[in-house]
Amino acid sequence: MSLIVENLTKRFGPKTAVDQLSFDITQPGVYGLIGTNGAGKTTTIRMILDMLPIDHGSALWNGKTVKKSGLRYGYMPEERGIYAKTRVIDQLVYFGCLRGLSKSESIAAAKQWMQRLAVTEYERMPAEKLSKGNQQKIQLISTLIHDPQLIFLDEPFSGLDPLNSQLFHELISDMAANGKTIIMSSHQMATVEQYCREITLLHRGHALVQGNLAEIKRGYGHTKLVLGASVDAYNMAHKAGLTLLEQLPAECVFGLPEHDADAICAQLLRDLLAADIIPEKFVLSEPTLHEIFIDKVSKVEGGVA
């Protein structure tokens, strides 16, 4: 199972929405496609799914261009779209049949998914009577009803309460564990960080950062020190050249210099111990995806300015 995207380019008039984008997914799991609004995430997905013609480049699933006749992929768009006046079971069966299932297969799959997502009681209700979260579940079922191998989820967690988020979380984890390839597009960096092994960070149609998330973070090195100790310890950290980022009731978060951060922290720890200060917390951390995102985008925007 592999999705190879090479030099994907899309122009709308003078504007280049996606420019020479390349990435490949060779193992099942969740791949993150992140970026600002208008970065080109949805356009990229639409090109891969053959919903928009590709101006240049290619997108191959198992060596072949993705075609609707293959019917082995699912797409949950960012803007939820279900028939408001139609009964839940009727539209699920309709979408199932459109994606190649027989009527009986569609009914069976719809019922199974509804049970899994705890919406069986709404089976015969028109979709408009369901809450936003439940409508989102119906949308997800319509995406997965035909058991696709390649799944695109555009902002799957938006508008979900914590309980439903947990339900979606378990479902996505199960699908990844069962060998599905999932491409998740999201603004919620914490969510992407939680699921995705690999990412592409898009900005204005260009890939700013790509690759294995852990490696990307390692590339940044340690950028913060969380120190839980006495006031004297904080003063020593300040003298060692660390920048106070955040002061919490029980601890402080310090920013580390770009160079020799680990050596500076090791020396600080030695100095603290020498001064008989035993810190309750001394944690070196890598940047979050959110921080990487802000850093990369602001650098590009600064460069542009």
Per-residue b or e along 236-258, where b marks 16 or more CB atoms closer than 10 Å to that residue's CB: bbeebebeeeeeeeebbbbebee
Structure-block tokens of residue 258: 């770009």
Structure-block tokens of residue 161: 């309460």
CA–CA separation, 223 and 292 (whole Å):
11
Q: How far is CA 210 from CA 43, 70, 131, in A?
A: 18, 28, 37
User: Min. distance of Cβ 166 from another protein in angstroms?
Assistant: 25
User: Min. distance of Cβ 289 from another protein in angstroms?
Assistant: 27
Q: Do 24 and 1 contact (CB within 8 A), yes or no?
A: no
Q: Which is nearer to another protein, 150 or 213 (CB)?
A: 150
Q: Which is nearer to another protein, 83 or 282 (CB)?
A: 83
Residue 68 — φ and ψ, nearest 5°?
A: -65, -30
Q: Do 122 and 130 contact (CB within 8 A), yes or no?
A: yes
Structure-block tokens of residue 71: 């019917």
User: Min. distance of Cβ 180 from another protein in angstroms?
Assistant: 16
Q: Which is nearer to another protein, 56 or 238 (CB)?
A: 56
Q: Which is nearer to another protein, 53 or 303 (CB)?
A: 53
Q: Which is nearer to another protein, 67 or 238 (CB)?
A: 67
Q: Which is nearer to another protein, 102 or 267 (CB)?
A: 102
Q: How far is CA 183 from CA 31, 107, 147, 249, 284, in A?
A: 5, 27, 15, 39, 31
Q: Which is nearer to another protein, 85 or 259 (CB)?
A: 85
User: Min. distance of Cβ 68 from another protein in angstroms?
Assistant: 6
CA–CA separation, 222 and 52 (whole Å):
41
CA–CA separation, 41 and 59 (whole Å):
14
Q: Which is nearer to another protein, 108 or 240 (CB)?
A: 108
Residues of this chain that interact with another protein (CB under 8 A) are 12-13, 46, 49, 51-55, 68, 71, 73-75, 77, 79-86, 90, 94-95, 97-99, 139, 142-143
Place of tokens 């920013």: 255
User: Min. distance of Cβ 143 from another protein in angstroms?
Assistant: 8
Angle between helices 213-220 and 289-304 (to 10 degrees): 70
User: Min. distance of Cβ 113 from another protein in angstroms?
Assistant: 15
What is the C-alpha radius of gyration for the chain, rounded to an integer number of angstroms?
Answer: 24
User: Min. distance of Cβ 292 from another protein in angstroms?
Assistant: 30
User: Min. distance of Cβ 117 from another protein in angstroms?
Assistant: 17
